[in-house]
Amino acid sequence: MIAALEIVSVFRQTNYMDSRAETILEIVREVAEMRRTAEEARLDGATIGFVPTMGALHEGHLSLMRRAARECALTVASVFVNPLQFAPGEDFDAYPRLLDHDVVQARDADVAMVFAPTAGEMYASRPLTKVHVSQLDQPMEGALRPGHFDGVATVVAKLFNIVGACKAYFGEKDFQQLAIVKRMVFDLNFPVEVVACPIVRENDGLAMSSRNQYLTSAERQAAPILYQALTEAIAMVGRGQRDASRIVAEVSERVKSEPLAKLDYVQVVDATTMQALNVIQDNSRLLVAARFGKARLIDNVAL
Ligand code: AMP
């Protein structure tokens, strides 16, 4: 792994403005260097585009990076599997770590800099401070993964403090996370513009995810049931259905009809507040989570 990293690191970037033309990429391991480089770029008048990830990059991540590179002078992607957002017994140890692959993918997506700190660099000692976004973290993922969103909000706050003022690109794939990050930025006045990006899917509709790697081939074949059920919900609304409970019932039934799927939740919520809705209105979002063997998959659509 180190050998490939070094090869890419040889192309140490000296001028971020040339990054697209020369497809050079710098790997930054230390907080102080990341902060200094971003600060210098801003002093030069560059807009920084920032894409936080946990790595094992796929087209979903790369779509965020390409967009950031189109819209900003310097694109920074972070690759960090954040221990704080995993509960004991979750897949922290199993989570795919593919930094060489990620660096090459990120470079091809016009990223100029990959910030890949170690856990020790990010958390020199166990943090006594955590960021907690209340209410929005209560339903769905927050209910099933207690403490998860505190871990997410805390690491995103740290990353925003390290990278500084930027446009930060997040996928709608993790819709509750996106709502929580937006609210944290609003409440705490981070100098960050959060840009929401659409979900990238496989040809059969399955939302791309690093966790899709956990699926057996039978589970992979079964997994598109999630998007099929969500698509049927959109069709119901198109036919005039406004009763959220009818939509939830239909989606639940569809997912449960797949023997390999274990449904965790289906919920219709307000896209900003995450409050459950009884009636479909503007800004309604339908979210679903289900387990397929070792993989826990989430997906969502606007209604
Ligand atoms: P992760 O590495 O899973 O933490 O994801 C990093 C970022 O990529 C988050 O903002 C995700 O929402 C986004 N992302 C992951 N999968 C997709 C996808 N299929 N389409 C769009 N964005 C995605």
Pocket test for ligand 1, best of 54, 63, 64, 95 (most atoms within 8 A of CB): 64
Q: Are 99 and 77 in contact (CB under 8 A)?
A: no
Q: Which contiguous run of DSSP H or E holds residue 75?
A: strand 74-79
Task: Tell me the per-residue pLDDT of 256-273, one tens digit each, with 9 for 90 and over.
Answer: 999 999 999 999 999 999
**19: pLDDT strictly greater than 80:** no
Q: Which long-range contacts (CB under 8 A, 24 or more apart) does 143-148 make?
A: 143/265, 144/264, 144/265, 144/289, 145/87, 145/90, 146/87, 147/85, 147/87, 148/85, 148/86, 148/87
3-state helix, strand, coil in the chain (%, to 5): 45, 20, 35
Whose Cα sits closest to atom 8 in ligand 1? Answer: 61
Mean pLDDT over all residues of the chain? 93
Closest by CA position to 38, among listed 10, 11, 72, 74 = 74
Question: Residue 23's pLDDT is what?
Answer: 61
Q: How many CB atoms lie within 10 A of CB 272?
A: 12
**17: pLDDT strictly greater than 70:** no
Question: Residue 220's pLDDT is what?
Answer: 98
Backbone angles phi, psi at 238, to 5 degrees: -60, -30
**15: pLDDT strictly greater than 70:** no
Of the pLDDT bands very low, low, confident and very high (cuts 50, 70, 90), residue 8 is very low
Backbone angles phi, psi at 16, to 5 degrees: -65, -25
Give the amino acid at 84. Answer: L
Whose Cα sits closest to atom 7 in ligand 1? Answer: 53
Pocket test for ligand 1, best of 50, 51, 53 (most atoms within 8 A of CB): 53
Does residue 25 have its Cβ closer than 6 Å to ligand 1?
A: no
Cα-to-centroid distance, 169 and ligand 1 (Å): 9
Whole-angstrom distance, CA of residue 19 vs CA of residue 229? 42
Cα-to-centroid distance, 60 and ligand 1 (Å): 6
Whole-angstrom distance, CA of residue 71 vs CA of residue 69? 6
Whose Cα sits closest to atom 18 in ligand 1? Answer: 60
Cα-to-centroid distance, 171 and ligand 1 (Å): 5
Does residue 244 have its Cβ closer than 6 Å to ligand 1?
A: no
Q: Output the DSSP codes for 252-301.
A: HHHHHTSTTEEEEEEEEEETTT--B-SB--TTEEEEEEEEETTEEEEEEE
Q: What strands lie across the sheet with 48-53, from one edge to the other?
A: 26-28, 113-115, 74-79, 48-53, 166-171, 192-197
Who's near 229: CB < 8 A, 6+ residues apart? 250, 251, 254, 255, 266, 288
Task: Tell me the per-residue pLDDT of 79-93, one tens digit each, with 9 for 90 and over.
Answer: 999 999 999 999 999
Does residue 66 have its Cβ closer than 6 Å to ligand 1?
A: no
Question: Residue 22's pLDDT is what?
Answer: 54
In whole angstroms, how far apart are CA 117 and each of 10, 27, 33, 82? 18, 10, 11, 10
* Its pTM surpasses 0.85: yes
Does residue 174 have its Cβ closer than 6 Å to ligand 1?
A: yes
Closest by CA position to 41, among listed 77, 19, 74 = 74
Question: Residue 97's pLDDT is what?
Answer: 97
Task: Tell me the per-residue pLDDT of 90-125, one tens digit each, with 9 for 90 and over.
Answer: 999 999 999 999 999 999 999 999 999 999 999 999
- Helices H / strands E in the chain, number of each: 12, 9
Atom of ligand 1 nearest to the CA of 200: 20
- Mean pLDDT over residues 153-182, rounded? 98
Task: Tell me the per-residue pLDDT of 193-234, one tens digit each, with 9 for 90 and over.
Answer: 999 999 999 999 999 999 999 999 999 999 999 999 999 999
**20: pLDDT strictly greater than 90:** no
Question: Residue 217's pLDDT is what?
Answer: 98
Whole-angstrom distance, CA of residue 185 vs CA of residue 162? 15
